[in-house]
Amino acid sequence: MIKRILIANRSEIACRIIKTCKKMGIETVAVYSDIDSESLHTKLADYKYCIGGTSAKESYLNMDLIIEAAQECGADSIHPGYGFLSENPEFNKKVIESGLTFIGPNFESMALLGSKTASRELMIKNNVPVVPGLKSNSGALEDYINFANSAGYPVLIKAAAGGGGKGMRIVRQEGELEESIATAKRESMSAFGSEEVFIEKYIEEPRHIEFQVAGDKFGNYIHLFERECSLQRRHQKIIEESPSTALDDELRERMANAAINAVQSAGYDNIGTVEFLLDKNNNFYFLEVNARIQVEHPITEEVTNTDLVEMQINISNGLKLDTAKIYTQNGWAIECRIYAEDGFNNFLPSSGKILYLQTPEGDGIRYDSGIETGSNISVFYDPILAKLIAYANTREDARLKIIDALKNNVILGVRTSIPFMIKLLESDEFIKGNTYTNLIEQKYNEFTKYDDESTLHYAIAAASNINRSADSYTEPWLGLGKWEILSNFGE
């Protein structure tokens, strides 16, 4: 049985995994780069181990160094979290060959499903609907041109070895095709170590619906319903909810069955996510399988009352899924990913020190975070700071609850996506449930119009929550506390 887990990750997801491990009585080892030495996840873990470096390549992507750390720390398993090495079958295999347990699926199914070209062929073979695209990828420009001309523009160039919007380009005319392919290859090589890309028909204004699935080592499979992930910027999700407003019971059942078929056909044996695109006519198409815990997993946990990290560990321990248990979808959950970025300035990343953090509290409010007051936000890693989740009986109650919680989530020192997400949640499109993957792109100018009065009120509310006395300062500007940080708010 697993007794000590090294978490090959950082920040929010590392803290999240540690929480479940403590509940299960499992010890944890946090690894950290040179600039993460005082990060929150290193303080929460039972042990910590410096793997050095600053960039991801030098630290959290260094397979051999991470495995060496696990062996030196006496860990018996490695949990990869999400991102970094979480979907790298080579790392998965190396972990197993070193005598450790990899908390995730077997590397053969990970490799099969991790390649978008190979997984497409597998889905076609098993009658799972796919978006029209090249069945194989020779890499020849002529093949891309011929497909685009036959399928019709727009088309989508995608990295075969990864996701998260990296290595992805929408092409609307032939003159853009060659440069888009070259750019996608460069991005894919930088992010995933592979320049393989493929091409498929681009579905206009689709919804992004994904199903949480799980399989054990005995051939048992279940699903834990869907998540709606259509609100995205640069092909990356920022607000998710469960259930989806787009599905009725019949469509939900068909998509769930297709999701289970997808992972079962690959011999998958842990939790995972099957992603689909849903067009305006309720036709759905297989997109990919994420062979790991998802960023947005908390909303599934809230509506099904299930700890997915615990399920991961139990499956890796060789336990069977409880197929007799009837999972139900109760209430409504919404998640906002809080990024260190300026939503009103084309999502420009922000870095610096968290000078003050106030987290929202209340019934039905969950805050999964990797930060605290004093945390340093660097330019070397993904800018996600935390995830705010609201749960309620109805969608409208959850929407109002998360808006209120966002307004009470004060983060000073770096710009965040909080004001932008409030705008989205208050928009008619979200209220009506009419969301699709390029909604933000199409209506960005509308969502980023400043209301000077409400912006000032937001700034005053933030400052008023900081309990600092001017009497303790001899320098008057220091006595203002964080007011100077907010002086250019909205410029």
Q: Which residues are marked as active site?
A: 292
Separation between Cα atoms, residue 168 and residue 181, nearest integer Å: 9
User: Angle between the 107-114 and 116-125 helix axes, to the nearest 10 degrees?
Assistant: 90
The tokens describing 32, both together, are 């950290």
3-state secondary structure (DSSP) of residue 434: coil
3-state secondary structure (DSSP) of residue 385: strand
3-state secondary structure (DSSP) of residue 423: helix
Separation between Cα atoms, residue 310 and residue 168, nearest integer Å: 33
Cβ-proximal residues to 88 (8 Å cutoff; 6+ apart), any chain: 63, 114
**Selection from 195, 189, 192 nearest residue 89 by Cα:** 192
Do 233 and 103 touch, CB atoms closer than 8 A? no
Q: Categorise residue 121: left if φ over 0, alpha if ψ from -120 to 50, beta otherwise.
A: alpha
- Ramachandran angles phi, psi of 80, nearest 5°: -85, -10
Separation between Cα atoms, residue 276 and residue 210, nearest integer Å: 6
Strand locations in 142-220 (E): 155-159, 168-171, 197-201, 207-215
Tell me the sheet residues that pair with 198: 158
Burial of 483 (0-12, 13-18, 19+ CB in 10 A): middle
**Selection from 297, 316, 120 nearest residue 216 by Cα:** 316
b/e per residue, 164-191, with b = 16+ CB within 10 A?
Answer: bbbbbbebeeeebbeebbebbbebbbeb
3-state secondary structure (DSSP) of residue 224: strand
Separation between Cα atoms, residue 346 and residue 444, nearest integer Å: 9
The tokens describing 199, both together, are 């091409």
**Selection from 486, 375, 101, 115 nearest residue 266 by Cα:** 115
DSSP classification of residue 133: B
